[in-house]
Amino acid sequence: MCGATRGGPSTEGLDLAGAAVVQGVVLRDGDPVPDGYVRLLDARGEFTAEVPTSATGQFRFFAAPGRWTVRTLVPKAEVVDRQVVATLGEVADLEVTV
């Protein structure tokens, strides 16, 4: 599990103790999207956090354990919602295609 990132930033050096990480990468036609925004909504749909995607289309949240919705906003694309479960001490990694 440790360091086994598929889409999100490398977890090397990340202190996962006490953290439930939700991260990933946003892709369009297979290419990373560097000008997107990713919102984290809680189980009630309430906004919790938002980050711009990095130059490599990646994002990361330090969440609490539980169910979350990851909402992706990208220029000239429909909004994409993805459901994810965050677990203490683990990294939930997503690939979001817009």
- Give contact residues for other proteins (rule: CB under 8 A): 18-19, 35, 37, 39-40, 42, 44, 46-52, 60-64, 71, 73-76, 79
* Alpha helices, H only, 1-98: none
At its nearest, how many Å lie between other proteins and the CB of residue 60?
7
Rank residues 3 and 66 by Cβ distance to other proteins and give the closer one: 66
At its nearest, how many Å lie between other proteins and the CB of residue 4?
21
Rank residues 27 and 51 by Cβ distance to other proteins and give the closer one: 51
At its nearest, how many Å lie between other proteins and the CB of residue 61?
5
Query: Quick count: other Cβ atoms within 10 Å of Cβ 56?
Result: 13
Looking at residue 75, what DSSP letter applies? T
57-80 residues labelled b (16+ CB within 10 A) or e (exposed): bbbbbebeeeebbbbbbbeeeeeb
